[in-house]
């Protein structure tokens, strides 16, 4: 919960107001699609009340998000430097967030929590491929992951057995372990 991001839209004076806050990993951890190990992000949220029912929001996020490298699983620091601007209009009775540039919120809302907007702004700016540069992966981890891949291929001695039984020798070993 970040109180600074809760905008009192009914009582906000006309004009431009800026709030600043710092976000850590606890802010992002509600998202299961993307593992955020650590976060150190400064947010500036600028709100301009243009009329009784129209607002302009500017979200600016800068900092670092640490996630897992897809290749070596070690920490991967991703720089965050993203801005998002949108208009907000209060009307009707239903929330409509289908438009990227115009958010419609019900007329009777007294408060608009910008936290989900900020969260999406940061997470949507993350690259699809999340890997260290080619030679910057942890070599120990790569070796470890590599050796697991090699173990997964039965070596020559096992080939005979697995052909006759049709069972992967590793599953057989697991079964024996379970039966004990």
Binding-site ranges for Zn ion (CB under 5 A): 69, 71-72, 132, 137
Closest CB to Zn ion among residues 60, 67:
67
Minimum distance, C-beta of residue 13 to Zn ion, in the bound complex (Å) = 49
Query: How far apart (Å, rounded) are the C-alpha atoms in residues 108 and 126?
Result: 34
Closest CB to Zn ion among residues 47, 72:
72
In this structure, the number of other CB atoms found within 10 A of the CB of residue 53 comes to 13
Residue showing the smallest CB distance to Zn ion in the complex: 69
Query: How far apart (Å, rounded) are the C-alpha atoms in residues 115 and 47?
Result: 14
Closest CB to Zn ion among residues 71, 119:
71
Minimum distance, C-beta of residue 71 to Zn ion, in the bound complex (Å) = 5
Minimum distance, C-beta of residue 138 to Zn ion, in the bound complex (Å) = 6
Minimum distance, C-beta of residue 74 to Zn ion, in the bound complex (Å) = 5
Contact call for residues 87 and 96 (beta carbons, < 8 A): no
Query: How far apart (Å, rounded) are the C-alpha atoms in residues 11 and 128?
Result: 40
Closest CB to Zn ion among residues 52, 135:
135
Minimum distance, C-beta of residue 133 to Zn ion, in the bound complex (Å) = 9
CB burial class (10 A; 0-12, 13-18, 19+) of residue 134? exposed
| Residue that has been written with the tokens 């709100």 in this structure | 47
> Residue 94's Cα: distance from chain center in Å?
27
Closest CA to 48 of 22, 19, 68, 28: 19
Closest CB to Zn ion among residues 83, 143:
143
Closest CB to Zn ion among residues 12, 69:
69
Closest CA to 11 of 112, 113, 110: 110
Minimum distance, C-beta of residue 155 to Zn ion, in the bound complex (Å) = 28
């Amino acid at each position: 919960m970040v109180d600074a991001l809760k905008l009192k839209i009914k009582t906000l004076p006309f004009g431009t107001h800026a709030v600043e806050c710092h976000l850590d990993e606890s802010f992002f951890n509600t998202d299961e699609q993307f593992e955020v190990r650590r976060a150190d992000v400064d947010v500036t949220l600028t709100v301009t009340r243009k009329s009784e029912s129209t607002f302009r929001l500017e979200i600016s996020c800068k900092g670092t998000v640490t996630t897992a490298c897809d290749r070596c699983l070690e920490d991967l620091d991703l720089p965050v430097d993203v801005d998002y601007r949108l208009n907000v209009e209060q009307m009707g009775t239903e929330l409509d967030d289908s438009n990227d540039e115009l958010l419609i919120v019900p007329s009777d809302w007294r408060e608009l929590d910008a936290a989900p907007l900020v969260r999406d702004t940061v997470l949507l700016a993350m690259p699809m491929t999340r890997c260290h540069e080619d030679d910057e992966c942890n070599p120990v981890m790569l070796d470890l992951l590599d050796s697991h891949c090699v173990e997964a291929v039965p070596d020559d001695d096992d080939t005979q057995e697995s052909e006759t039984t049709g069972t992967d020798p590793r599953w057989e070993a697991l079964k024996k372990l379970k039966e004990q």
